[in-house]
Chains A and B, each alone.
Chain A
């Protein structure tokens, strides 16, 4: 159909692949919007529900007012910022709309290492795309700001200017997640669909993501050998400062104490503590184990909420 010559059969496979990719981009484009929320170049967002919920990367929505959305039909609508979670670099926006095409999220984790994937962006009127493969998949991880990302997805797609907030699209048309250039340096990391569903759900409901708060600054230290043997744990977190009137102070924690367990889980590194300070523990009294004067002590702390 497209050209003549004896290489037809061979090239048909390639042309077919090429046309399939362009078709996948065109189909997915119905759920990809332009987000005008910063002074520099516009970025991208994903339609999350038919009635106008849009998810994007928090770092591209710099202002709270006068955020504009370029919809797939070419019209522009003003958007309200529903909520932000800087810890996962997600923002939820709302436009007045109905009958929008929501993203077909890959909630079943069908992506495998080696799969072809496309990154999409709509910094201008039309949707743009880059191609890559899934480079690595892994366990859940925490961002530098303590946000929980349910699993690790790394690709080699090129993040073209304005692609942040746009989807990673699988060959079968699923939205694997949302691409953000701000979460990790040097590699393209995707926030997976399950994390987006969870965080977007919370933001729509509460306008923010609850995070626990202790009011301490801490540093990992090596435990005395006797304690290490007793706990079967090499390190703990030493309190370098405890804020007056904070949940930690109210619970009896003092500067110089070394936190070794919380709510039944060992605390070895900062990451362990960050993961204990999840929103669901806010307001709950949890048992903690500390080392003070070479001996372990049990106490309990009521987790506060980070404002």
Chain B
């Protein structure tokens, strides 16, 4: 809203008037979601702050339906005038479009939103004053562990999200977050990374320092790496790596992905796809989870949905439309997702992924690794030859270690994990109890996941 209107309208009034406007123009169904707040970033490298950024969040997301034709209208800094103008413009688009294949309706059963404490910490905004100091403490902690230079990022922000739908749902909630990544370098090829994310600010300074220490320790352990050799190894995946690789499976437990050929999970509901000690839920009620929310964009309450239970694929995530197509119920996962270039769709997507912890500490997993094993602490650039098959490769980065006889023997470098998602899931042999929330560059969906061990992974290396 602009300043004048802000004095007159709060978020709910803006949404109410927006819905009145859509009614005036004969729109059948509407979702109006409004975000108001601020976000910041402190970015650093070479052990110094590079830049501080601030983004104003003042966005209305308007999803409108007429005769099963749908479109999504994002409006930054909305005013009643520009909302009306954009509705009128979009009507021309709707009137000339065919019906959406993806739309079958929105939530009509108005329910009480889920109650989640701990989504908002007012002091988050104060990090604009203390954030730099926290960053330098994390940098110093990494340097004390032997790092020569440190790079990373700290994000934080808070906002109010308000929702109103044409079916009668109305709700709002305040939420805040922080997330940080820190990468420590001893040498160009000897680095370590750790990350941090959540909402509760208690002990944030100590957590930032621990993040720095952890990254610095890994970097120091990674000094003088040997060239890794291609072959078959057991693989220990840190939470960061497991979150990326197995996230490709849990994110694909989604009817849209199945329909587009982007999922290896087609026709696999009810099938055993992992070991019986593997249980994974989609959980939008985890307050520290960065995608926690009392309701989804249709107003369906947040909930816990079993995706894999005791190794068996139980569910895909759904919104109202996909639930109708699959003759089931929405799992409260409706959201607006950017798909392809230029289009945003109303579709289901994962909220927070939560693994049931296993019985092992990370050290116990290493100690039980008698065979040739590779421990990957971080990775990036996961790409697929075929997403239906799950054939992929990914590149370890940062500390990468050869493990044998229950001990880390030496650091290695320059190898690639070239494997298959479904095969790796089936080959999980140990699940740790060191659950950590992962969300960063390579893991989009917040994932509460421990260290995981997989047998017989395929490691490749450059041939020339």
Do A and B bind? no
Interface of B toward A, CB cutoff 8 Å: none
Interface of A toward B, CB cutoff 8 Å: none
